Amino acid sequence: MQAFTIRSIDLHTVLLPYLAPFETSFGAETDKVAVLVELTTDAGVVGWGECSIELWPGYGHETAETAVHMLKEFMAPAVIGASVSDPREFPALVKRFRGNQHTRAGLEAAVWDAFARTNEMRLTDCFAHYAPAGHESEGRATVGVSIGIQPSLGATIEAVRGRLKQGYGRVKLKIKRGWDVDVARAVRAEFPAILLMLDANSDYEPADAERLAVLDQFDLLMIEQPLSHDDIYQHGKLQKRLKTRICLDESVKSASDLNIALQVGALGILNLKPARVGGFSESLEIYRICVEHDLPLWIGGMLETGVGRAANIAFAALPAVNLPSDISATDRYFAADISEPPFVLGAGSTLAVPDGCGIGVEVQRDRLEEAKRRWQEKYPYRRGR
């Protein structure tokens, strides 16, 4: 593999309006905010990465402002001038700065894209190169769709029907206390055979175990992150009381967390979000552990722009990602994305990995400028911070 030296890093904070607001147990979001990292190598190759964040520190701790601050003041200066012959060397370059997983993951993603482009490879083949022997990219990811909390049961059923008609083969419903058993019952009654799962985003407490056990009757593929975002132990106790498999999302922030979760029986399935665990190097280590333990695995999303989604699709095309991932077609999120070409849902509820080098999509400069302007206009009090 050919090495490169990091010459410069430019940051772009963008705002893209969602086609419809996305409501979870912590509230509704109307726009995607992202910090895009543009990395230029000494040879003039450009790699892109996305810091997956949201407008409010609800799911993760980070915001656009914390990402820009950490990158500008600490992480970018620590990597500019560094030579990269293996992208897995990246975490050591920023190891002295703790936390800020989503931010470091965005920078690392730009390193991976630049590395793949330097070597004229698809990013997905680059991931496969560092995966266990024999793990080749399948060239496509099997995906599902995540449906936010709707105003009524009727609206939920119609939302599910619409997504099934589009070809999605797995449906995830966001739930919260008081919006759970009834919604699962109504959707299961209407669609008896679909792959159905629920995501609570940490809204429940250990004392809710009996309520959660009621959900066992709906033949769910899994229930995602019922308990606290930083708990593993109580999930282990809860799993013993549920037939439905628990999938951890928020609680697994590293390979070490996954080892603990396996040890205490806290999960039967993992949602791996490369952003949440600090990047693709840590994701590859987590992938290896899942293979070793035969743990079912899928890739989660945070309604990323095309830049972040392309990298996640490249990873989700690895063969041990064996359940549908939370990565949907472009038209599930935006009227116009930041990059081209768009992702279109294919046969068997899949998204194809593009043919091009690196992430395989190209950032459109005019849309980038427009999305940066939108951020500055809509959140002027945050500008320049």
For binding to Mg ion (CB under 5 A), which residues are involved? 199, 224, 249
Interface with ligand OSB (CB under 6 A), residue from 201, 244, 283, 349: 201
Taking the complex as a whole, how short is the minimal distance between the CB of residue 156 and ligand OSB, in angstroms? 15
**184 Cβ contact partners less than 8 Å away, ≥ 6 residues apart:** 173, 175, 196, 198, 215, 218, 220
User: CA-to-CA distance for 127 and 327, rounded, in angstroms?
Assistant: 18
Here's the x/- map for ligand OSB, 271-300, by CB under 6 A: it reads as: -----------------------------x
Answer with the entry of ligand OSB, Mg ion, none that 251 interacts with (C-beta below 5 to 8 A by kind).
Answer: none
Interface with ligand OSB (CB under 6 A), residue from 302, 307, 317, 351: 302
**Burial class, 142, CB count within 10 angstroms (exposed 0-12 / middle 13-18 / buried 19+):** buried
Answer with the entry of ligand OSB, Mg ion, none that 113 interacts with (C-beta below 5 to 8 A by kind).
Answer: none
Q: Is 101 in the site for ligand OSB (CB under 6 A)?
A: no
Q: Is 103 in the site for ligand OSB (CB under 6 A)?
A: no
Interface with ligand OSB (CB under 6 A), residue from 199, 203, 231, 257: 199
User: CA-to-CA distance for 302 and 335, rounded, in angstroms?
Assistant: 17
DSSP state at residue 245: P
DSSP state at residue 25: T
Q: Is 328 in the site for ligand OSB (CB under 6 A)?
A: yes
Residue 223's SS3 state is: strand
CB distance 108 to 82 below 8 Å: no
Taking the complex as a whole, how short is the minimal distance between the CB of residue 8 and Mg ion, in angstroms? 35
How many residues comprise the chain? 385
Q: Is 202 in the site for ligand OSB (CB under 6 A)?
A: no
- Give 24 or 118: the residue with its C-beta nearer to Mg ion: 24
User: CA-to-CA distance for 75 and 62, rounded, in angstroms?
Assistant: 15
User: CA-to-CA distance for 308 and 321, rounded, in angstroms?
Assistant: 18
Which listed residue (32, 172, 253, 273) is catalytic?
273
Nearest residue to Mg ion on Cβ basis: 249
Is residue 172 flagged as an active site residue? no
User: CA-to-CA distance for 168 and 175, rounded, in angstroms?
Assistant: 19
Q: Is 50 in the site for ligand OSB (CB under 6 A)?
A: no
CB distance 207 to 182 below 8 Å: no
Interface with ligand OSB (CB under 6 A), residue from 14, 49, 51, 59: 59
Angle (CA) 79 99 338, round 5°: 65
Q: Is 144 in the site for ligand OSB (CB under 6 A)?
A: no
Answer with the entry of Mg ion, ligand OSB, none that 62 interacts with (C-beta below 5 to 8 A by kind).
Answer: none
Angle (CA) 146 151 157, round 5°: 55
Residue 40's SS3 state is: strand
Taking the complex as a whole, how short is the minimal distance between the CB of residue 149 and Mg ion, in angstroms? 13
**270 Cβ contact partners less than 8 Å away, ≥ 6 residues apart:** 247, 248, 252, 258, 286, 290, 295, 296, 297, 298
Taking the complex as a whole, how short is the minimal distance between the CB of residue 249 and Mg ion, in angstroms? 4
Taking the complex as a whole, how short is the minimal distance between the CB of residue 51 and Mg ion, in angstroms? 18
- Give 88 or 332: the residue with its C-beta nearer to ligand OSB: 332
User: CA-to-CA distance for 98 and 116, rounded, in angstroms?
Assistant: 27
Which listed residue (32, 172, 174, 176) is catalytic?
174
Taking the complex as a whole, how short is the minimal distance between the CB of residue 26 and ligand OSB, in angstroms? 9
- Give 180 or 224: the residue with its C-beta nearer to Mg ion: 224
User: What does the binding site for ligand OSB look like in residue numbers (CB under 6 A)?
Assistant: 59, 146, 199, 201, 249, 300-303, 326, 328
Q: Which residues are catalytic?
A: 174, 273
